[in-house]
A and B are shown apart, each in its own frame.
Chain A
Amino acid sequence: MQIDEEKCVGCGNCVPVCTMGVISVVDGRSRVNEEECVECNTCYRTLRSEDHNPTLVRAARWVLRQFRLAYDPAPDVCPTGALTPPTLTWPRSLRATFSDPTIKHPSTGTGGRGTEEIKSNDVTGRLKPGEIGFVVELGRPGLGARLRDLQTVAMALAEAGVRFEPKNPVTHLMTDTAVGILREDVLNEKVMSAIIECRAEAERAPGVLATLRRVASEIESVLSAGVAARCGPDGSVPYAEVVRASGFTLSLNAKTNLGLGRPLFEERSEPAQTSAGRA
């Protein structure tokens, strides 16, 4: 993020909204620690520009100070419109695509973090019976992560026998999906979060979960982990027991695909086996 020093009046509103906590007010002007900024553009989007004249705002602050009054703008404004998203070049541009959900990933054409998961599994059949999907989000919640950390986790998961989701922006950064290695020039980039998305046969799940727990202790940030599957014919959760046996606890809340998409995967691939009973 760029902050125009001529315009900035040092109100400090951008400091708390910064997702990475890397904006500070120095000598009456907001400054960004560029090395730690993930280019999420949240400060720019959240703070409405009032487009006031900076000289007038500074004068008003000076007058208020004489009466021992604070200049206290509403928390969702930048009084002078001092914030501007910069034009980014590779590899720094990755920071924005992985951190600003309004920007589409060039590699997949998707916004957000670019995952498939179970969101359209009823139609795509991406996760099949007997498979378990894993989503491992580096940097979440709210700390951010270097892609070097992500590579550490991806390589460990690859060794545990997972297959990486091809339609995922992280997978597109890999030079070898068999071992989970990323291209060298992106490793030092910091992002809000990035999601390794992979799957494995159910029998491999204990090994994958044990690997996840082990490798999490080797990273500088945090990771949020998730597990997904196609439900049994009665709506049962196929991974419930293996997760518990591996020492993890399933969240009480979950994401549920209702099966209302059409055509269903079975209808597209094997018309004779249409699951008319569903939904």
Chain B
Amino acid sequence: MTNTLHRQGTPDSLAGDYIVFLTPAGGINREGCGEKKRRFLRLALSEGPVNLGADGKNLFTGGEPEQMIAAVTDESSVAATFSDPEAVRRLVGHLKRESLGISVNISGLAEEVDGILRSHGIVRHSIEHSLGVLGRIERLPTRQVLEITTMCGHGLISHNFARKMIDWVKLGKLTPRQAGRYLARPCVCGAFNIDRAADLLTKAVEMA
């Protein structure tokens, strides 16, 4: 899940973008963790995520959420994406109470996440920040495009696809939310936030 580390955007935009995921440790607590991952996803689902990732499927490619969850095994990667930090706060409460025993990580505004944890009496254990992009940055597209495409950190949403969806929204061929649903398809981890994508596409059209 380095794929959630380098999301670009303004503080206002990132304030509505959180990914919660479970990661077992091989050889220590991975065996038999499938049921815990399924429980995590059901808890997450109860708090209204904008996307879920399970075993290479997301809410826009995986069919019914319960089908996705039922297919999860010890080996599956699982993640839930939220726009509302209060939903994340409630989910953290569930996870603390249930003590699943698998490592939980949250990607999002660091101070907001820290506040959520402290409201539950949790002191963060480890942390990881992005230092940005170095090298041939002149080869990169506009910030407008990168704010959309970096929501899939595996790079599966191409810069050209984002440009095409921006154009189609400008032309009135798609609404921002419809375009967001198309953009969400390639992101197999479910880390793509279509609420935020719709906001970014709306702003892109307003700026045109």
Interface string of A233-253 (1 = CB under 8 A from B): 111010100010000111111
Tell me whether B134 and A258 are in contact (CB under 8 A). Answer: no
- Residue in contact with B140 in the complex, picked from A16, A17, A127, A143, CB distance below 8 Å: A143
Q: Are B128 and A254 in contact (CB under 8 A)?
A: yes
Stretch touching chain A among B43-51, B63-71, B110-118, B199-207: B110-118
The residue from A111, A227, A253, A259 contacting B131, defined by CB atoms under 8 A apart: A227
Q: Which residues of A contact B153 (CB under 8 A)?
A: 140-141
How many angstroms from the CA of A144 to the CA of B1 in the assembled complex?
Answer: 18
- Nearest A residue to B156, CB-CB: A42
B15 nearest CB across to chain A (Å): 9
Return chain A residues, CB-CB under 8 Å to B6.
Answer: 137, 140-141, 224, 226, 251
Q: How close is B65's CB to chain A, nearest CB, in angstroms?
A: 19
Q: Which residues of B contact A119 (CB under 8 A)?
A: 1, 21, 23, 103, 105
What's the least CB distance linking B172 to chain A, in Å? 14
- Once the chains bind, are A255 and B127 in contact (CB under 8 Å)? yes
In the assembled complex, the CB of A145 is this many whole angstroms from the nearest CB of chain B, namely: 9
Whether A120 contacts B158 by the Cβ 8 Å rule is no
A120 x B25 contact (CB < 8 A): yes
Which of A75, A142, A251 contacts B129 (CB under 8 A)?
A251
Interface residues of chain B: helix, strand, loop or mixed (majority): mixed
* Nearest A residue to B30, CB-CB: A120
A252 pairs with B110, CB closer than 8 A: yes
Known interface pairs A120-B24, A122-B126, A256-B110; A261-B136 also in contact (CB < 8 Å): no
A:64-120 near B, CB below 8 Å: 75-76, 99, 101-102, 109, 111-113, 115, 117-120
A255 touching B160 by the CB < 8 A rule?
Answer: no
Among B25, B111, B114, B130, which residue has its beta carbon within 8 angstroms of that of A124? Answer: B25
Within 8 A of A (CB), among B132-172: 132-137, 139-141, 146, 149-150, 153-161, 163-165, 168
Interface size class of B (residues with CB under 8 A): 35 or more
Interface residues of chain A: helix, strand, loop or mixed (majority): loop
Whether, in the assembled complex, A151 has its beta carbon less than 8 Å from a beta carbon of chain B, the answer is no
A52 at the interface (CB under 8 A from B): no
Interface positions of B from 1 to 19, Cβ below 8 Å from A:
1-7, 11, 14, 17
Instruction: Give the chain B neighbours of A228 by CB distance below 8 A.
Output: 126-129
* Chain A, residue nearest B139 (CB): A143
CA A224 – CA B129 in complex, angstroms?
11
Residues from chain B with a CB closer than 8 A to the CB of A42 are 156, 158, 186
- Whether A75 contacts B186 in the complex (CB less than 8 A), given A142-B158, A222-B135, A251-B129, comes out as no
A223 engages B135 (CB within 8 Å): yes
A133 interfacial by beta-carbon distance below 8 Å = yes
Closest Cβ neighbor of A38 among chain B residues? B155
Contact in complex: A135, B135 (CB < 8 Å): no
Q: Are B29 and A261 in contact (CB under 8 A)?
A: yes
Within 8 A of A (CB), among B60-117: 77, 92, 95-96, 99-111, 113-114, 117
Interface residues of B (CB under 8 A from A): 1-7, 11, 14, 17, 21, 23-26, 28-29, 56, 77, 92, 95-96, 99-111, 113-114, 117-118, 121-137, 139-141, 146, 149-150, 153-161, 163-165, 168, 182, 185-186, 188-189
Chain A to chain B contacts (Cβ below 8 Å), 5 pairs: A115-B2, A227-B131, A250-B130, A255-B106, A260-B101
